[in-house]
Chains A and B, each alone.
Chain A
Amino acid sequence: MRKNIISFLLVIQCFTLLGRDGITPVKYDSSAVEWRQFDKQKIAEHKADPSFNYGNRPVPGLSIWERFIMWINRVLGRLFYMGTTTPIGKIITYTLIAAVIVYALLKLLKVDVRRTFYSNADASSLPYEVHDENIHEMDFESLIKEAVEAKEFKNAIRLIYLFALKNLADKHLVEWQPGKTNHDYLFELKREEVKEGFGSLSFYFEYAWYGDFPISEELFADVDRLFNRWRKGLPG
Chain B
Amino acid sequence: MENEEIFKTRVDLSGLKESVDKVKSEISKIIVGQEKMVELLITAVLADGHVLLEGVPGVAKTLTAKLLSKVIQAGFSRVQFTPDLMPSDVLGTSVFNVKTSEFTFKQGPIFSNIILIDEINRAPAKTQSALFEVMEERQATVDGQTYPMDEPYLVVATQNPIEQEGTYRLPEAQLDRFLFKISVDYPGLEEEVEVLKGHHARQDVHDLSSVEPVLDKDMIKDYRTKVHGLHVDENLMRYIAQIVNETRNSPDLYLGASPRASIAILQTAKAFAGIQGRDFITPEDIKFVANPVMRHRVILTPEKEMEGQTADSIIDMIVEKIEVPR
Contacts and interface: CB of A to CB of B under 8 A. Distances in A.
Contacts of B205: none
Nearest to A161: B326
Nearest to A206: B282
Interface string B1-38: 10100110000000000000000000000000000000
A115 B323 contact: no
Name the residue among A119, A177, A207 with the largest chain B CB count within 10 angstroms.
A207
Interface string B70-108: 000000000000000000000000000000000000000
Contact of B308 (A119, A127, A158, A180): A119
A161 B231 CA distance: 21
A182 B6 contact: no
Given A112-B307, A210-B282, A212-B280, A178 B6 contact: no
A179 B322 contact: yes
A149 interface: no
A110 B323 contact: no
B321 A129 contact: yes
Contact of A210 (B281, B303, B317): B281
Contacts, number: 77
Contact of B233 (A116, A177, A181, A210): A210
A140 to B, nearest CB: 13
Given A162-B326, A179-B323, A116 B287 contact: no
Contacts of B282: 181-182, 206, 210
B283 interface: yes
A131 interface: yes
B196 interface: no
A80 interface: no
Contacts of B319: 179
A109 B284 contact: no
B236 interface: yes
A103 interface: no
Nearest to B323: A178
Nearest to A183: B284
Nearest to A159: B326
B323 A130 contact: yes
B320 interface: yes
Interface of B: 1, 3, 6-7, 231, 233, 236, 242, 278-284, 287, 302-303, 306-308, 317, 319-324, 326
List the 5 closest pairs (A to B, CB-CB), nearest first: A178-B323, A179-B320, A211-B280, A130-B323, A207-B7
